[in-house]
Amino acid sequence: MKLSDFDYNLPKNLIAQKPASPRDHSRLLVFNRETKKVEHKHFYDIINYLRPGDVLVLNNSKVFPARLIGKKIETGGKIEVFLLYPASITPPASPPPLSKGRIKGDSWQCLVGGSGRKEGLEVKFQQGLSCKIIKDNKDGTWLVKFNKNKKELMKIAERIGKTPTPPYIKNLPAGVKQKYQTVFASADKIGSVAAPTAGLHFTKGLLKKIKRRGVQIECLTLHVGLGTFAPVKTDNIKKHRMHGERAEININAIQRIVRAKSEGNRVVAVGTTSARALEGILNKPALELLSRLSSKENGIQTAVDIFIYPGYKFKIVDALITNFHLPKSTLLMLAAAFIENKNKNKGVILAKKIYQTAIRKKYRFYSFGDAMLMT
């Protein structure tokens, strides 16, 4: 499939610049994959499409202010260091049990913006923080060593760092740190450099109503990074390689999801990050998966680098809540794959039709935009 297959024209006035208020008053396009019927609702109506016994899976990763603005020590010139993840916790290819301990380290994988980027460059920030660029990874990222350990660095980042909102949001709304964060983000799951935006539509009140309906709510963690937002640069999309993103899910959540599937209930993924984590981690037969986990282990932690595009057969996810995504993005490719699970070309065609309908109906697009439910 070609990258151009996933292109479309979007009027600039439909790019949302601020979230709906209240959050659950955003609009909701509902697409039934069996009947191909499209309905136009509000997000708070989603409760009417969830069934008792469904499992709603949320990504509870928390966004942190990952953009650090500093000065090059040798010239005084401005430079930006964008924290991705600590180099010492790059996940291995095979999933080990979750570790209870804190992993320390002062080297991070980063993006570096500005002229004069090179190995050996030293940068000074506020609050006594400094770093040295150690290595060009030749994939757009850099290995950077800081003079503070992870705990100290994160405290300083909270004070001087900037929340990494997308470049198409021109005028950042007041209180962006709170608004660009889900209400269920966990304080001990800090690690995303971008919000899992499908989750932004939920309020605490709506989640309580959903739970009272008999829907099981489960959380996993996928720390949003380059795997989610890196652009596809190859014309043949099959040649694109996803960056691994750290993900984890505990054994109790695994067991409840597996049980729901075995009982014929649906797994509803909130966002493409949750969908990729579920498909990337729980892609083995249930008995084989559970046989590797003892009751003494917390669950699975691994790198998720699965690339889902039309033709992929979903094994875990039965319904998907997602936003309207950028042209040519891996997120749009995943949505197209889910829209039509049997015919990959038809999935692309249907995705374009749905997006054109959303444009015609003036839905709001991208991070702060409206949502779509595919059942």
pLDDT of 284 reads 61
The pLDDT > 70 percentage for the chain reads 91
- The arithmetic mean of pLDDT across residues 12-37, rounded, is 96
pLDDT of 288 reads 62
Tell me the three state secondary structure of residue 86: strand
CATH superfamily of 67-160: QueA-like (2.40.10.240)
Triad 353, 366, 305: Cα angle to 5°: 90
For CATH 3.40.1780.10, the residue range(s) in the chain are: 3-63+172-374
Q: Taking 90 as the threshold, does the pLDDT of residue 330 lie above it?
A: yes
- The arithmetic mean of pLDDT across residues 203-219, rounded, is 98
Q: How many residues does the chain have?
A: 375
pLDDT of 164 reads 83
42-94 residue pLDDT tens: 999 999 999 999 999 999 999 999 999 999 999 999 999 999 888 865 444 33
pLDDT of 101 reads 32
Distance CA 247, CA 249 (A): 7
pLDDT of 103 reads 36
Which residue's structure tokens are 């900037």? 162
For CATH 2.40.10.240, the residue range(s) in the chain are: 67-160
Which residue's structure tokens are 């729901």? 260
Q: The whole model's pTM is what?
A: 0.89
Greater model confidence, 48 or 231: 48
Number of Cα atoms under 13 Å in the Cβ half of residue 354: 32
**CB within 8 Å of 343: residues ≥ 6 apart:** none
Tell me the three state secondary structure of residue 371: strand
- Candidate from 83-87, 173-177, 235-239, 273-277 with smallest mean pLDDT: 173-177
Greater model confidence, 174 or 162: 162
141-150 residue pLDDT tens: 999 999 999 8
Q: Taking 60 as the threshold, does the pLDDT of residue 286 lie above it?
A: no
Pick the CATH number of 3-63+172-374 from 3.40.50.920, 3.40.1780.10, 3.90.230.10, 3.40.50.2300: 3.40.1780.10
pLDDT band at 344 (very low <50, low <70, confident <90, very high): confident
Q: Taking 70 as the threshold, does the pLDDT of residue 18 lie above it?
A: yes
- The arithmetic mean of pLDDT across residues 192-199, rounded, is 93
pLDDT band at 172 (very low <50, low <70, confident <90, very high): confident
Q: Taking 50 as the threshold, does the pLDDT of residue 287 lie above it?
A: no
pLDDT band at 366 (very low <50, low <70, confident <90, very high): very high
Triad 316, 318, 322: Cα angle to 5°: 105
- The arithmetic mean of pLDDT across residues 318-344, rounded, is 94
pLDDT of 93 reads 39
Tell me the three state secondary structure of residue 127: coil
pLDDT band at 296 (very low <50, low <70, confident <90, very high): low
Given its phi and psi angles, is residue 187 left (phi above 0), alpha (psi -120 to 50 degrees) or beta? alpha
Provide the mean pLDDT of the chain: 89
pLDDT of 95 reads 38
Q: Taking 60 as the threshold, does the pLDDT of residue 224 lie above it?
A: yes
pLDDT of 294 reads 56
> Do residues 338 and 310 lie in contact, with contact meaning Cβ atoms separated by under 8 Å?
no
